[in-house]
Amino acid sequence: MTGLPYAEVIGDPIAHSKSPLIHKFWLDKLGIEADYRLFHVKPDELADYISARRDDPDWQGCNVTIPHKLAVMDHVSDPGGVRDTIGAMNTIARDESGELFGTNTDAGGFFAPIADVPLKGQDVIVIGAGGAAQAVLFALSRIDVASVTMVNRNALKASALLARFGLKGQALEHGAALPPARLLVNASALGMKGQDELVIDLGTLPDDAIVYDLVYAPIKTELLKAAKARGLETIDGLSMLIGQAAVAFEIFFGQSPPVEHDEELRKLLLK
């Protein structure tokens, strides 16, 4: 116990996480006396970790990263039905009665930078069918898009996700010609440092299309560079990273993060 309210991020490995930098930046800007830290939890330590924190009154909750996003669902309640939708939790906190519950802030974080874009009735392309893609599809299923074309090396997995989220659309393999779309999202690992590049022809996108890359290492991906070269609007992965942290911050500390400092935060994250 620290005597000071705190939240943390757990995972294995965990040293690379940017969450402490983001949450501490906001705590500092808002003058909240609390801490946010990294905590290394190996897979066989998860149950003990949860039961220890359950009894710690200073602990406000935690963010959960690889490899615990699925396993943690066995230890906490699921009031939002995350297990049957996004299928993974990335945030644990206490409810008003003190019980631990889990949620997933990735869908909200993904949606934050496009909240003002009128996507209802529009066509969308999503590349990838992993955990991040599920959060994206969850958000898209809530805003009544017309169709989602998914592109994944395993097209069958992508088709199954479309059905699960009740979305109309199609699943294609990489290399297939893309239809026009108002929004194209890269939710795959392609383009990430150490991974293959995403090879894609943006030629079918209309001039008002938005290209949104969830990859944030590097921040200026080849996809975003190609979209910019075509004069398209782009959104980078830091926007979602900050957006998902913002939803968690409110849950942990009860205040909205000060968005007026986002540019300063982005610079810090890019250092």
Can residue 244 be called a binding residue for ligand NAP (CB under 6 A)? yes
**Of the candidates 27, 112, 114, 129, which one interacts with ligand NAP according to CB under 6 A?**
129
Query: 91-94 and 59-64: which strand pairing?
Result: antiparallel
**Of the candidates 113, 130, 218, 258, which one interacts with ligand NAP according to CB under 6 A?**
130
**Sheet harboring 123-127: ordered strands across?**
169-172, 147-151, 123-127, 183-186, 210-213, 233-235
Residue type at 271 in one-letter notation: K
- The yes-or-no answer on residue 69 being catalytic is yes
DSSP 157: H
Can residue 106 be called a binding residue for ligand NAP (CB under 6 A)? yes
48 or 173, CB closer to ligand NAP? 173
Q: Distance between alpha carbon 159 and the CA centroid of its chain, in Å?
A: 21
**Of the candidates 60, 91, 152, 221, which one interacts with ligand NAP according to CB under 6 A?**
152
Using CB under 6 A, which residues numbered 60 to 79 contact ligand NAP?
Answer: none
Determine phi and psi for 270, rounding to 5 degrees: -85, -10
Among candidate residues 69, 67, 194, 202, the one with its CA nearest the CA of residue 127: 202
Whole-angstrom Cα distance, residue 268 to residue 261? Answer: 11
Whole-angstrom Cα distance, residue 40 to residue 14? Answer: 6
Looking at beta carbons, which residue is closest to ligand NAP? 130
52 or 66, CB closer to ligand NAP? 66
Can residue 111 be called a binding residue for ligand NAP (CB under 6 A)? no
69, 168, 220, 271: the catalytic one is: 69
Residues that bind ligand NAP (CB under 6 A): 106, 109, 128-133, 152-154, 157, 187-190, 192, 195-196, 214-216, 237, 240-241, 244
Q: Which residues are catalytic?
A: 69
